A and B are shown apart, each in its own frame.
Chain A
Amino acid sequence: MVEPPIIEVRDLTISYDGQPALRDIALDIHRHEIFGIIGPANSGKTSFLRALNRMDGFNPGMEVRGSIRLNGKDINDWRNVYALRSRIGVVLPLPVGLPMTVYDNVAFSPRLRGIRKRAELDEVVERCLTRAALWDEVKDRLDSLGSLLSGGQQQRLTIARALSQEPELLLLDEFSIAVDPVTTMRIEDVLRELRSELTIVLVTNLVQQARRLADRTAFFLMGEMVDIGITEDLFEGKVRDERTTGYIEGRFG
């Protein structure tokens, strides 16, 4: 790959109140790829995502050591953590419709960037809701509360909100937990299209979802990165560690 990676992680160790959750992770994430992370519960997947966005600042017990570079620059050297976070979209397992209208949910981040013109905001809202496969369902009730949509709709609203940040990196943490299978498939189609514009890190419990979406996949187990490689290779048995095949085939986990 000629282009330098968007994310370079070295010696990353994360602990909560002294209890290590993730140890000595080193990996690169390439621009315009979907990078999957699979692994059983408590293997450190979510901690990894939280560290990328410096979400450790929300949680006093969480300690991150090592280096994470975004576009070659250590994320701790960003003069302004808010500017860093605004360039990274996050979608968490449980949807969070903010207690404001559907429109305001999606216009929140553009407004933070200083966009005030109604026409411009209208355009962003429609584009992001369309991309998140939600526009057709909500275009007639943009003024109703985002928190009153169904779970699956709220999750797509969360995705639309993340896209409204115009992020270069999109972090998805088990986004399909609260979403029905049909909608999940629609969102997966959207993610495939988005790959041309941004880079996606996809944490998932669903091994097959990683296979459908991810270009490369890492397997985390009990706080260690056991395996990393081209997704198809892992699924065809070209693994560094037998435990990867064991997990993929559902023999443990």
Chain B
Amino acid sequence: MFTATTLNRRSQRAQGVARAVFFLMTVTLVIPVLIIAGTLVVKGGPAISWEFLFSAPRDGMTAGGIFPALVGTVWLVAVALLASVPVGVAAALYLSEYAPDNLLTRTINLAIINLAGVPSIVHALFGVGAFVLFFNIGASILAASLTLAVMTLPVVIVATRESLQAVPQAFREACWNMGATRWQTIRKVVLPNSISGILTGVILEVSRTAGETAPIMFTGAAAFVAFLPNSVLDQTMAMSYHLYYIATQQTGVPEEIPFGVALVLISIVLLMNAISIGFRVYLRGLKKW
């Protein structure tokens, strides 16, 4: 009959300890998230109302709502997407499907990774120099969105390239062997099977764009604009900048207002992430291999 040796027992004990340590670390990870979410709900919850969401700030931003900032954030995100998605997807298609593996391609790939690592304040200054001053667009939604687009391009490119490369090479070769060109192969086999990953990347980009503050501070966001933007050349309020402003630059703001703004902002981001995850799960169910 089998009996456990001392060695068996010792390895079992070590296994138990390892498991417990990893579990504790995981719990530690969850605690800050719960505290942040809990604080926001408790302190910001009372501020949330229809009036808060759909009216402009009043009395030097010590009262009223956040409507112009909400609308401004939608504008910034939408214009940034229009600028970055076509460029990013096209660049990823080129890098993944056409580019030969040579020094130039590898340099470009390295540059993209580094672009992702550039701090957002540096992007902000680049945006001021390039879009506001050099191209003379002026501080506006367009300049701010282009700055956001440059900043989030690596996210789009990397997400797109990864989903393209998840399509098995055998599918491509089977098409090429039938005499299909690269573009025919991309259109009929590669894109239909990678579109879910590409869209997921785009949604993640939205949530990141909505939360960024530094890149829009000097390029188009304003502390207070009495009207909603009419065109991309207007300045605008934005959720993230509004939060920064009322929390640090303005006195006499009741405590629940900044917490309320933060709660709305984080809800938007979480909602976007949830949509992204749901989308991925749904499309994975449709996956064809």
- Quote the shortest CB–CB distance from A83 to chain B (angstroms): 7
B249-273 Cβ-contact flags toward A at 8 Å (1 or 0): 0000000000000000000000000
Report the Cα distance A165→B173, complex, angstroms.
Answer: 15
Give every chain A residue within 8 A of B192 (Cβ-Cβ): 99-100
Q: How many positions in chain A have a CB within 8 Å of any CB in the partner chain?
A: 29
A85 & B171 in contact (Cβ 8 Å cutoff)? no
A46-88 Cβ-contact flags toward B at 8 Å (1 or 0): 0000000101001010000000000000000000001111111
Report the Cα distance A158→B174, complex, angstroms.
Answer: 9
B189 & A99 in contact (Cβ 8 Å cutoff)? yes
- Quote the shortest CB–CB distance from A208 to chain B (angstroms): 27
A108 & B289 in contact (Cβ 8 Å cutoff)? no
Residue in B101, B174, B184 whose CB lies within 8 Å of A96: B174
B175 & A98 in contact (Cβ 8 Å cutoff)? yes
A99 & B288 in contact (Cβ 8 Å cutoff)? yes
B177 & A53 in contact (Cβ 8 Å cutoff)? yes
| B58 interfacial by beta-carbon distance below 8 Å | no
| A109 interfacial by beta-carbon distance below 8 Å | yes
Report the Cα distance A100→B176, complex, angstroms.
Answer: 16
Interface residues of B in 84-123 (CB under 8 A from A): 100-101
Residue in A55, A97, A165 whose CB lies within 8 Å of B179: A165
Interface residues of A in 89-104 (CB under 8 A from B): 89-90, 92, 94, 96-100
Query: In chain B, what residue has the closest Cβ to A145?
Result: B288
| B188 interfacial by beta-carbon distance below 8 Å | yes
B189 & A58 in contact (Cβ 8 Å cutoff)? no
Give every chain A residue within 8 A of B176 (Cβ-Cβ): 55, 58, 85
Give every chain A residue within 8 A of B288 (Cβ-Cβ): 99-100, 145, 147
- Quote the shortest CB–CB distance from A114 to chain B (angstroms): 12
| B233 interfacial by beta-carbon distance below 8 Å | no
Kindly name the residue among B170, B178, B189 whose own CB sees the greatest number of chain A CB atoms within 10 A. Answer: B178
Interface residues of B in 149-182 (CB under 8 A from A): 170-171, 173-181
Interface residues of A in 20-66 (CB under 8 A from B): 53, 55, 58, 60
- Quote the shortest CB–CB distance from A125 to chain B (angstroms): 15
Query: In chain B, what residue has the closest Cβ to A53?
Result: B177
| A131 interfacial by beta-carbon distance below 8 Å | no
Report the Cα distance A186→B103, complex, angstroms.
Answer: 50
Report the Cα distance A97→B288, complex, angstroms.
Answer: 10
Give every chain A residue within 8 A of B101 (Cβ-Cβ): 60
Q: Which residues of B contact A (CB under 8 A)?
A: 100-101, 170-171, 173-181, 184, 188-189, 192-193, 288-289
Q: Which residues of A contact B (CB under 8 A)?
A: 53, 55, 58, 60, 82-90, 92, 94, 96-100, 108-109, 112, 145, 147, 158, 161-162, 165
